[in-house]
Amino acid sequence: MKKFLKQIVYGLFLFALINLIILAFYEYPAYKAIKNKTHKNYLKWTDIHTNKNKYDLIILGSSRMYTAFNPEIIDEGLNLNSYNMGTSAQDIAESYYSLKEILDYQRPKYVVLELYFETSDNSHDFYQIFSNASFFNSTKNKYDLVTDGYGQKGIVNYVLPLLKFNNYIKQDLISLVSNTKEKKKSEIWIKGYLYDTTTVTVKQIKSFEPIGNLETTTFNESRFKKYFYKIEKLAKAKNIKIIYIRTPYPPTRVAITSKTDERDYYDKFSKLKKITYYDLGYYKQYNYTDTDFTDYHHLNYKGAEKASKQLIETIKEN
């Protein structure tokens, strides 16, 4: 019996040690970036927290949003002061709690929120989610995001680094074997927007796959509706106009996509709920090309100029 208990204790000790090593290995670069004031989420939240009531328009969503909308172009076109608070892998629950945190410091007239299936699915990048939430000043918003936003799964991933960094551990192990780890390039950030000069390659274009649909994604309709209504209620209480956006896809992907139920779903939902929704791939025919993208769904600076001008037009319509 004692031998069995010792094995359990040793096992728990080893498990705890592995988690501590993983935590140190993956959190140290973030700690260093914060110290050097180069961590993008840290800088974004510092701007929100220290420039009180400065921003008229806030952009929320995933990396598709922070590569799509350039506040300098938007500000010039609308005579507003905008800020891009898109963060990597941000989903709709994270957007809601981020908006709650933002509204403690800002009084925007407009919020531009991303709608596409992956923002409301069952797959979550907890490292990115908790990285964003770690810069909330409100302990309650952090706690609610972890417990109410992601439930038991969120709590377990918050406590155990081995789970939280699981995907990144796999990627690093694969890169060690294949020796395909990419060199980190210098980045230009403008009020939360990533000014990316990369252009998708011909090889990448040839490997494009169809846009995800209800069968190929883990879109969770009940999760989407739950946080949609929460966001709408919060915006109404603060007299904020929300503009819902789906950023464009490369035309090659559009051409090979037979099922367009992502677009159809949000189009029907917006008409039913009478909300302002724009699919920028089709709005006023801005004619995106594959070379407006850095990869299969992120815009580069050329594409962002088009998307930013489209957003200006949607605001003027409202």
Please state the domain extents for the chain: 15-31+40-174+185-317
CA proximity to 247, closest of 67, 56, 88, 122: 67
CA proximity to 291, closest of 223, 173, 197, 161: 197
Q: pLDDT category, 161, cuts 50, 70, 90?
A: low
What are the backbone angles phi and psi of residue 6, rounded to the nearest 5°?
A: -65, -40
Q: Which pTM was predicted? A: 0.90
* Pick from 98-102, 168-172, 212-216, 314-318: least confident: 168-172
* Pick from 38-47, 173-182, 225-234: least confident: 173-182
**Which two tokens mark 110?**
């407009």
Does residue 261 or residue 21 have the better pLDDT? 261
d(CA 172, CA 170): 5
**68 near 303, Cβ under 8 Å?**
yes
For residue 169, is pLDDT > 80?
no
d(CA 163, CA 169): 10
For residue 9, is pLDDT > 60?
no
Q: Model confidence over 190-208: pLDDT tens digits?
A: 999 999 999 999 999 999 9
Name the DSSP class of 295. Answer: S
Residue 10: per-residue pLDDT: 56
Q: Model confidence over 279-313: pLDDT tens digits?
A: 999 988 789 999 999 999 999 999 999 999 999 99
Q: pLDDT category, 36, cuts 50, 70, 90?
A: confident
d(CA 265, CA 238): 28
Alpha helices of the chain — where are they, by DSSP H?
A: 2-35, 40-50, 63-66, 71-78, 92-102, 126-133, 139-159, 161-164, 166-178, 202-206, 221-237, 251-255, 261-273, 301-317
The class that CATH gives domain 15-31+40-174+185-317 is alpha beta
d(CA 121, CA 32): 32
The CA distances from residue 295 to 35, 139, 208, 255, in Å, are: 31, 37, 9, 16
d(CA 106, CA 97): 14
Crossing angle for the helix pair 301-317 and 71-78, to the nearest 10 degrees: 30
Give residue 109's identity as a one-letter amino acid code.
K
Q: pLDDT category, 62, cuts 50, 70, 90?
A: very high
d(CA 244, CA 242): 6
**113 near 242, Cβ under 8 Å?**
yes
d(CA 219, CA 74): 31
d(CA 61, CA 64): 7
Residue 37: per-residue pLDDT: 75
Average pLDDT over residues 91-106: 97
Does residue 185 or residue 313 have the better pLDDT? 313
